[in-house]
Amino acid sequence: MMASTSRTPSLASTPRAFRRAVSSLSSRARASVTRASRVEDADDAESRERLEALRRRSTALLERQRLLTERLERRRREREGENDANREREEAAAVREREEAEAEAEARRRADAEAAAASERARAEREAAEAAEAAAQAEARARADAETPKCRERLNIVMVASERARAEREAAEAAEAAAQAEARARADAETPKCRERLNIVMVASECAPFSKTGGLGDVMQSLPKALAARGHRVMVVVPRYKEYDDVYDTDVRVTFNVLGHPTEIGYFHLYRDGVDYVFIDHGAYHHVRDGIYAGDRSDAMFRNSMLCQAALEAVWHVPCGGAPYGDENLIFVANDWHAALLPVYLQAFYRDHGKFEFARSCFVVHNMAHQGRGPLDEFYSLQLPEHYKEHFVLDDPVGGECMNVMRAGLRLSTKVIAVSEGYAWEITTDMGGWGLAPTIREFGPGKLSGIVNGIDLDEWSPELDCHLDGDGYARFPPRGDAFSDGKRQCKRALQRQLGLAERDDVPVLGFIGRLDDQKGVDLIAEAEGWLCSQDAQLVMLGSGRGDLEDALRGMENRHHDKCRAWVGFSVEMAHRITAGCDILLMPSRFEPCGLNQLYAMRYGAVPVVHAVGGLRDTVQQYDPFNGTGNGWTFDSAETHKFIDAINHAMCTYRDFPEAFREIQARGFERDLGWNRAAELYEDRFIDAKYSW
């Protein structure tokens, strides 16, 4: 049986099938090529889109790189400009310091040369005197030898010649000492006392003797002179309320936007005692010439805003001594709320725009009770940016929400200075801060400090006081070993002038001050019965509230034999009462610094004060056991405590006169001038200069 095999037919054996196979393969190949071509075309389009996107991104990146490069180059140029400016400032400062050092060295060299020349002249004079003495002695001996020897006459001749030569030698030595002292004094005057020279611009609403209502005017009269004496360049900017002697018009006129109104002001100038006094001239100030704080709140705000803006620009426009102050080493000093807008304008109108970058402002608080409060809507009249509003807003639990000008000035100033250390503490308390204590407590000790005022010893010192000339008064030296006779003469003259009995054995009590609640005059009125029952005399001078003026007049009418009330104010009588009274009463409810107690100590009057503010800093309670203290104090504004303090003073006067004189002498020993205070202010200003 044979196996069967199957066989696949070949293409060669089937031509038709072969053609069909070739045709099929060709169709599939064309389809594959077509599909491949489509895929390739699609891939090319996508690639082109991707390439175009990459090209656009590259272009954008290049453009960004170019912008960044330009920005970096611009910043580099700005930094180089700032560095150049800083280098120029540093070089200018170095040049100034070098010039100052050279000037000081030259002054010392001149002084040494003058001292050496004076010493050489005195030495030559002394040698000449000695030669003359020797010649005189030789001549006397020769004359004596030529005559008949008479020992007594010969001795007399020699002694007279020797005495004459000795007197000439002493005169030459005195001349030498005087010349050296003069040279040293001249060198001291030419060498500045300050640690660092500053350009100081002090701004206030009043300045004695041009305008004055209280202690602020006295401070503005004395402190600038003391700072200038230390070597600083000092400008005082105040309103020109009226015509002042020797003040000239600079012909400088500047227009400011004052509360939304274009306002032209003029600058007047006076140079006196080393200080540039610049007066701001405008009709609004002339209108209140007889009452510088007259008018409603809007009037006061207009005057104060104008004063602050004009003061800031004065350093550029007023050619003091031929050259404006400029902005180098510049310290602006704003005094009380009338100038409180100055630190605000300095920051908002200048520093925020790159001007006055290195200028600083200090705010001096003379009286926290006056703050410039008003409705919040008034803020917009100041033309300040909106974000400055927060500095003005005060939500007072007592007075409610309001705009407070002083608050803004305190917050935006570099340093805050109260007029005594005690007052600096008091204004941080809720009782003494008048609503601003929380704001002040934010500052800390680095910003807030206190400096006790001084007094002008050229005006308030008994050996120089022209008001003590005439009517039986007398000048006297402020020394514990030499004041008694002059003080006694002034006391008798005061009693005689006012029609009181001239008695040395009764104490004369004095009061000088404004008649209002602050000064505690009501405590004197309430103590009338006790005071006038004592063997004492009471003299009062002041003006103010009508009811208190009437109370003082009533006291005089009821006790005409021992009480006098001078209602009004007289500078001469203020000096004479201070010189003539034994005890000065200051029952103030609050007293930021106080000057009358300082005047009293200089004139030998013992102060009795309420221990607040500057009174607590300057008057120490008398301690009879240790022999210390320069007055009497009471710790609460209550009539019975006031009476107790007066009683202690009068008992000491009557029963222990020697102890009372010692208390007076200790008052003379205190340094009451402005030199020390000016040095402390200088320290604070330098601290402000380097604060950021």
Q: How much is the average pLDDT of 348-358?
A: 95
Q: Is the pLDDT of residue 26 over 70?
A: no
Strand ranges of the sheet holding 632-634, from the earlier edge strand across to the other edge = 563-567, 537-542, 508-512, 583-586, 606-610, 632-634
- pLDDT tens per residue, range 596-652: 999 999 999 999 999 999 999 999 999 999 999 999 999 999 999 999 999 999 999
Q: Which of 120, 118, 121 is nearest to 180 (CA)?
A: 118
Report the pLDDT averaged over residues 506-513.
Answer: 96
Among 191, 224, 247, the domain boundary falls at 191
Res 444: pLDDT: 72
485 in a domain, yes or no?
Answer: yes
Pull the structure tokens for residue 636.
């609460």
**582 and 504 both lie in a single domain:** yes
Distance in angstroms (rounded) separating the CA atoms of residues 369 and 259: 25
Read off the tokens for 266. 């003029």
Q: Are residues 432 and 507 located together in one domain of the fold?
A: no
Statement to judge: residues 425 and 393 lie in one domain: yes
The reply to whether 98 falls in a domain is no
pLDDT surpasses 90 at 51: no
Residues 409 and 432 in one domain: yes
Beta strand 233-239 with 537-542 is unpaired
Across 104-113, 134-143, 419-428, the highest mean pLDDT is recorded for 419-428
Per-residue CA distances from 148 to 107, 142, 143, 152, 162 (Å): 61, 12, 10, 11, 21
* Final residue belonging to a domain, choices 130, 160, 191: 191
pLDDT of residue 469 exceeding 60, the answer is yes
**Together in a domain, 401 and 543:** no
Q: Are residues 429 and 512 in the same domain?
A: no
For residue 7, pLDDT over 50 is answered with: no
| pLDDT for res 43 | 58
Residues forming a β-bridge with 165: none
**Number of domains, the chain:** 3
Neighbours of 485 (CB within 10 A): 10
Contact predicate 428/646, CB 8 Å = no
Domain stops at, among 172, 191, 210? 191
Encoded amino acid at 517, one letter: D
* Three-class DSSP labels, 421-454: HHHHHHCCCCCCCCCCHHHHHCCCCCCEEECCCC
- pLDDT at position 14, please? 47
Which range among 9-18, 222-231, 580-589 shows the weakest confidence by mean pLDDT?
9-18
219 and 274 co-located in one domain: yes
Do the domain assignments include residue 150? yes
Q: Which pairing describes strands 248-258 and 261-272: parallel, antiparallel, or unpaired?
A: antiparallel
CA distances from 433 to 136, 171, 595 (A): 81, 64, 21
Cα–Cα separations (whole angstroms), residue 569 to 94, 109, 573? 53, 52, 8
Do 275 and 214 reside in the same domain of the chain? Answer: yes
In angstroms, the CA 254 to CA 280 distance is 11
Q: Is the pLDDT of residue 374 over 70?
A: yes
pTM summary value:
0.71
Residue 236 sits in the same domain as residue 376: yes
Phi, psi of 639 (to 5 degrees): -60, -40
**pLDDT tens per residue across span 414-440:** 999 999 999 999 999 999 999 999 999
pLDDT exceeds 50 at position 6: no
Inform me whether the pLDDT recorded for 168 exceeds 50: yes
Q: Which two tokens stand for residue 32?
A: 């594959």
CA distance 412 to 132: 75
Same domain, 607 and 593: yes
Look at residues 196, 205, 198 and name the one whose alpha carbon lies nearest to residue 236: 205
Asked if pLDDT for residue 32 goes beyond 70, the answer is no
Q: What is the CA radius of gyration of the chain?
A: 44
488 token code pair? 């006694």
Answer whether 240's CB lies under 8 Å from 293's CB. no
CATH of the domain at 440: 3.40.50.2000
Q: What is the mean pLDDT of residues 466-474?
A: 96
Query: Are 205 and 187 in a shared domain?
Result: no
pLDDT beyond 70 at 408: yes
Give a yes or no: residue 176 inside a domain: yes
Domain assignment present for 461: no
- Within a domain: 257: yes
Residue of 241, 342, 257, 253 lying closest to 293 (CA atoms): 241
Q: Is residue 42 part of a domain?
A: no
More confident residue, 226 or 180: 226
> pLDDT per residue over 272-320, tens digit each?
999 999 999 999 999 999 889 988 999 999 999 999 999 999 999 999 9
How many angstroms separate the CA atoms of 494 and 508, rounded?
Answer: 10
Residue 431 phi, psi dihedral angles, 5° rounding: -75, -40
> Is the pLDDT reported for residue 172 higher than 90?
no
Q: Are 281 and 265 in contact (CB under 8 A)?
A: yes
Specify the pLDDT at position 10: 42
Q: Is the same domain home to 434 and 479?
A: no
* C-alpha span between 109 and 97 (Å, rounded): 18
Report yes or no on 316 lying in a domain.
yes
Assess whether pLDDT exceeds 60 at residue 149. no
Domain extent for 161: 117-191
